[in-house]
Structure 1
Amino acid sequence: MKSVKDIMSPLEHCLSPTNTLEEAINIMYSQKWNTVPVTNHSGKLIGVFTRSSMYQMILSDVSKDTPISDYIKKAVGTVLEDVDSELLETMIAKSRVGTGIIINKSGKPVGLFTKANAVMNYVKETQILKSQLEKVMDTSNLGAIMTNEQGKIIFANEKCAEMIGRPMNEIIGEDMEAFIPPFSKRDDKRESHFPLVLYKQHYIVRLSKYSIDEEKEGYIALFQNVSELEKLSAELESQKKWETLLKSVIHNAYDGLVMINEAEEITFISPSLTELFELEQGLKEKTKIDMVLPHLKLSQVMNTGVAEVSDFMEVKGINYLVHRIPVYQGEKIIGAIGKIVYRQLHEVREAFKSAEDGQKETSKREGMEKSRFTFNEILSNDKQMDKLIRSGIKAAKSKTTILIYGESGTGKELFAHALHSSSMNSKGPFITVNCAAIPEHLLESEFFGYEDGAFTGAKHKGKIGKFDMAHGGTLFLDEIGDMSLSIQAKLLRVLQEREFYRVGGTERIKVDVRIITATNRPLEKMVAEGTFREDLFYRLNVISFEIPPLRKRKKDILLLSESFIQEFNRQNGTSITGWEPLFEQAIMDYDWPGNIRELRNVWERAMIFAENGKVRLEDLPDYVLKKAGYDIFLQEEEEVSELPLLEKAEQFAIQRALEISGGNKSKACILLGISRSVLYDKLKKYKMPLLKE
């Protein structure tokens, strides 16, 4: 903010009371002043000598040598030099005096401020402001128009003329409505935004009112090219992506790094990797990752969206691992980072040890039980299941015990197989024990094996147990809630000590086994009731997953159904291609208490009984039709129907289709697979009301 001393006229001369009329006239003439400050011998202001004072002395016919002391005006308005200029301009505008005296804190005059000074300063400030506004408008690429109260254009900038496609002199004075057709319809709004197309270019126009005086209003319109907004938005999005990618690099920095964008193009590669893989020092920008480093398989993580660690690989005799990490922005994958580990870090040493142990055990355990499923074979469109799978892939990398909850038939064993397949022990055995299917007195020997002669009927040379068999791999304990308290205690010891004794044996046997358990029983409630050991529960419940029942993920019913059609067509030689709409509605209405296992069984039955290429409603078991509310198709022996069963079923099907479609007959026709005219005939036949569309 400017102060008054920046724009005042500085004083070069002052008068004293002893100065003569002639001296005063000479100073006023030379300085072009109408007012001259008068000071005392200390230099402090005591008054002013004005042009009117001079006229008074001349008219009084005094001599030129007469002192001005009797003609000094002592009522003087003064302003301190540090007052801001805007306040002084306001004071001058309201003052009847044309000149103000500027004094310092000592009361000595230092300058004059006239109305002419105020006007010149205002003009200068206006010119600067106009120049600044024009610069802002040019830089922002905004077109601008201003009108008077009649809507006539009084200002337009060059950018606006370019947008409108008319020279400036043809725009000024024209009606705003000539260039903005919606203008007249919006004059009742204080401010509005609307799209406008000019010469095939799309603009967003902001129309605002401004006050000319108390009763008159004009308009200001600002034009913004939509393509420029989109470009700006794209640039901001690009910056956000880079920020996210760079943060990921910082947080995941390791031996070697390579980074790709969403198009699988290399955007960064560390010098250590170009040396390790003997790449050209000047890789071209946006080179596809699979063209130069396909063995890293970074494009794979772009598809799965799940971080993973590769098997051991080798280059120039150096073993290395690749940690593939997807980079997310919100829910969208915008790139991936490859972390290459090859130096003597803790993780590498552990991985080498695990690999060596796995190779030794593989040769010993050919023919051992292996996992049969991966996470890719778990079909689901459900968000909760998708989150569960992602968490499962992460948890699989550790050796931590995992507990899987879920109702019978939800796929707990399938999930356990997938966990093993994604683990570091995936090449090792996957041994399953159903704790509910083995008698209690045999469960201990099943777990730990027995020595020769341990009990009557024991095999010669003894037998190894499930823990022995699962060494270097995974032991899956299904129905863990059905295990007796005595076996629970022995299992707890194995989990804590990683060692056990065979039945009848004295040799301590150490094992490296990853434990995965599953149950459909409420273990926490069983702990409270004393039927399940609390210490074992907390040992098993380090990481837990609860697989939702099928009734809570209805979107998966049709997805699984398509899979079952393919499976049973191959298995049973059927040729089913799909299902009818009412069949679909019935299986969607049913709650599936047996979950996926029940759905699979129902599909196998329906495909066997189907008489054509599509399964129909009547191919479903009776109990499904009853529980789903379709029991009209089941005629009990004692029931006497007014209509034949086929016609009654047809009537029900039409009624059900209308309910599902909300009374929309076009949609009902699609569900029923009939034409609109046939539907009207059926409605009349069964005297059913004609619902409105």
Structure 2
Amino acid sequence: MMNTGQLSNNKLLDMVFESTYYGIVIVDSHAKIQYISNKYCEFLNVERSTVIGEHVTNIIENTRLHLVVQIGKSEIADIHFLRGDFVIANRIPIIENKEIIGAIGTIMFRDLDDWNKMNSHIKEILTKHNFYKNERDVINGVKYSLHNLIGNSQEIQQLKELVKRVARGDISVLIRGESGTGKEIIAHSIHQLSGRSDKPLVKINCTSIPEHLLESELFGYEEGAFTGANKGGKIGKFQFADGGTVFLDEIGDMPQHMQVKLLRVLQEKEFEPVGSLYPKKLNVRVIAATNRPLEKLVEEKLFREDLFYRINAVQLFVPPLRDRIEDIPVLVDYFLKKVTARIGKRVTSVHPEVLSVIEQYNWPGNIRELENVIDAGVHLSNDEVIGKDALPDYLKRHNVKMKEESLKDIVEETEKKAIERALRRFKFDKKRVAETLGIGNSTLYDKIKKYQISDQ
């Protein structure tokens, strides 16, 4: 039997255990509680003074601590249903001189959501430091992680937090954003941080597969389903992803007859291969992405409304590059290091004048276009610093245009302030203002309207 005198100093035990575990309980060889932490008592909604000495099964529902005392075998990271929630519990026998004198039970996570949060956090850290094996990621279809979503702007930081929260669940996700913003990175990150990360991530580009082959590519076919069918049939991309994630890129371009079949997968968790007489069960998570206005497509009856609401359970928006200009310097540095490492050329930075040109450009092709510009700049540069001569011609032309527009802006701003000063000076007597400025009355009225100058 456990020496209870050794456990009488609850203050010392509290100092050790209250700060390290959500809950802890120690039982003797008869499975009677000798110590229980205050946190665990709060979770169980019991008074500590009333449970000391009680058999553990009378206090903790579904416990297995009394069995650990009997068998002497540890149970690590076991899922334990307790007070309407799942907790992650460890149970370890206490052995002295080869005799079981008790057992200790700890709650590592209060519920599965806590577990999933920590699991995603650990995966993110491991990926950031390249601890995951590339071979496994390639096999599972994962090429990117959240570490590849580069940026320090508030928009990107908020997006990263949303990705981590969404990844922990199993809900369908719709990723929206312009072409080249990084929607695929988001899809890969969700899968990689999810509980499905050890299963395949299968990408399906809804625009790249010919329409007459789309059904068999997605759902496979049975032997003899059509002329030329492979002997034994063929599994489709959805079945290959069973247990994992399907990433439907450019879902706005999916034909309507396939939208019906996808809706069945989402609603009934089953599909029918071409030529099959019976449906097959399927367990996949669906992540979709589009740069098209699905709401407008729904109004025009080009996209099913019921499917839209199914895939739109959670919506993530990837901002265009022009809306996060503050991320451009870090993106330029990232792509510069990436390109130079790939081709082995020593180019260390971009000229400040080049960075200014890049920051003023509108970037309709977003991140993908910026990477291509830096790639070209490294190849074309004759120095360790990328100068304006290494920029694509269209960026040079845009820079000239921007300079012209900037001069125009300066002139217009100067003109507006001169008119405002004159109006105040002559107490809004427009005739005198026009005479002083040397312009006609109608011209003055036109400029007041153009610059939206108040006439009071």
Question: 2: distance between equivalents of 1:597 and 1:489?
Answer: 33
- Report the CA distance shift for 1:532/1:339 in structure 2 as closer, same or farther (over 3 A): farther
- 1:319 corresponds to: 77
- Report the CA distance shift for 1:317/1:531 in structure 2 as closer, same or farther (over 3 A): same
- 2:353 corresponds to: 582
- 2:201 corresponds to: 430
Q: 2:152 aligns with which of 381, 401, 404?
A: 381
Question: 2: distance between equivalents of 1:577 and 1:472?
Answer: 44
How big is each residue's C-alpha offset from its partner over 1:661-686, in whole Å with a ceiling of 9 and x where there is no partner? xxxxxxxxxxxxxxxxxxxxxxxxxx
Q: Which amino acid aligns with 1:536?
A: L
- What percent of counterpart residues are identical? 40
In the TM superposition, residue 268 of structure 1 has moved relative to its aligned partner by 2.5
Q: Can you give the 5+ residue segments of structure 1 that lack an aligned partner in the other structure?
A: 1-258, 284-314, 325-337, 352-364, 633-651, 660-693
Question: 2: distance between equivalents of 1:441 and 1:601?
Answer: 34
- 1:268 corresponds to: 19
**SS of the counterpart of 1:340?**
strand
- Report the CA distance shift for 1:412/1:614 in structure 2 as closer, same or farther (over 3 A): same
Whether contact under 8 Å (2:22, 2:108) holds in the other structure is no
Question: 1: distance between equivalents of 2:190 and 2:344?
Answer: 33
How big is each residue's C-alpha offset from its partner over 1:618-650, in whole Å with a ceiling of 9 and x where there is no partner? 211111122243689xxxxxxxxxxxxxxxxxx
- 2:242 corresponds to: 471
- 2:287 corresponds to: 516
Q: 1:556 aligns with which of 320, 327, 336?
A: 327
In the TM superposition, residue 316 of structure 1 has moved relative to its aligned partner by 2.5
Choose between structure 1 and 2: higher helix proportion. Answer: 2
- 1:340 corresponds to: 108
Following TM superposition, where does structure 1 have runs of at least 4 consecutive aligned residues deviating by more than 3 angstroms? 269-276, 320-324, 345-351, 365-369, 628-632
In the TM superposition, residue 273 of structure 1 has moved relative to its aligned partner by 3.5
Choose between structure 1 and 2: higher strand proportion. Answer: 1
The alignment status of 1:402 with 2:173, answered yes or no, reads yes
Question: 1: distance between equivalents of 2:387 and 2:87?
Answer: 49
**SS of the counterpart of 1:442?**
helix
How big is each residue's C-alpha offset from its partner over 1:396-415, in whole Å with a ceiling of 9 and x where there is no partner? 11111000000000000011
Superposed counterparts of 1:211-360, under 5 Å: 268-269=19-20, 272-273=23-24, 275=26, 316-320=74-78, 340-341=108-109
- 1:72 corresponds to: none
- 1:567 corresponds to: 338
Q: For the pair shown, which has the larger CA radius of gyration, 1 or 2?
A: 1
Question: 2: distance between equivalents of 1:385 and 1:484?
Answer: 33
In the TM superposition, residue 381 of structure 1 has moved relative to its aligned partner by 0.9
Q: Which amino acid aligns with 1:319?
A: A
Q: Which amino acid aligns with 2:24?
A: L
- Report the CA distance shift for 1:376/1:316 in structure 2 as closer, same or farther (over 3 A): farther
- 1:149 corresponds to: none
Question: 2: distance between equivalents of 1:584 and 1:461?
Answer: 58
Whether contact under 8 Å (2:178, 2:320) holds in the other structure is yes
Higher relative contact order (CA 8 A, sep 6+): 2
Aligned residues: 310
**SS of the counterpart of 1:475?**
strand
In the TM superposition, residue 267 of structure 1 has moved relative to its aligned partner by 7.2
In the TM superposition, residue 530 of structure 1 has moved relative to its aligned partner by 0.8
In the TM superposition, residue 348 of structure 1 has moved relative to its aligned partner by 11
The alignment status of 1:599 with 2:370, answered yes or no, reads yes
Superposed counterparts of 1:528-677, under 5 Å: 528-629=299-400
Question: 2: distance between equivalents of 1:273 and 1:369?
Answer: 38
Q: Which amino acid aligns with 1:472?
A: G
Question: 2: distance between equivalents of 1:589 and 1:366?
Answer: 38
- Report the CA distance shift for 1:591/1:350 in structure 2 as closer, same or farther (over 3 A): closer
Question: 2: distance between equivalents of 1:350 and 1:602?
Answer: 39
Q: Which amino acid aligns with 2:108?
A: I
How big is each residue's C-alpha offset from its partner over 1:193-240, in whole Å with a ceiling of 9 and x where there is no partner? xxxxxxxxxxxxxxxxxxxxxxxxxxxxxxxxxxxxxxxxxxxxxxxx
How big is each residue's C-alpha offset from its partner over 1:377-420, in whole Å with a ceiling of 9 and x where there is no partner? 31111101111110111111111100000000000001100010
Question: 2: distance between equivalents of 1:349 and 1:609?
Answer: 50
Question: 2: distance between equivalents of 1:382 and 1:347?
Answer: 28
Question: 1: distance between equivalents of 2:338 and 2:112?
Answer: 46
In the TM superposition, residue 320 of structure 1 has moved relative to its aligned partner by 4.3
Q: Which deviates the most, 375-384 or 573-582?
A: 375-384
Question: 1: distance between equivalents of 2:191 and 2:171?
Answer: 12
Q: Can you give the 5+ residue segments of structure 2 that lack an aligned partner in the other structure?
A: 1-13, 28-34, 38-72, 80-85, 89-105, 118-135, 411-456
Q: Which amino acid aligns with 2:382?
A: E
Superposed counterparts of 1:83-122, under 5 Å: none
Question: 2: distance between equivalents of 1:557 and 1:341?
Answer: 40
Whether contact under 8 Å (1:399, 1:514) holds in the other structure is yes
- 1:454 corresponds to: 225
- Report the CA distance shift for 1:350/1:623 in structure 2 as closer, same or farther (over 3 A): closer
Q: Which amino acid aligns with 1:562?
A: D
In the TM superposition, residue 540 of structure 1 has moved relative to its aligned partner by 0.7
Superposed counterparts of 1:1-20, under 5 Å: none
Question: 2: distance between equivalents of 1:404 and 1:271?
Answer: 36
Q: Which amino acid aligns with 1:442?
A: L
What is the TM-score when the length of structure 1 is the normalising length? 0.41
Whether contact under 8 Å (1:499, 1:508) holds in the other structure is yes
Question: 2: distance between equivalents of 1:350 and 1:582?
Answer: 46
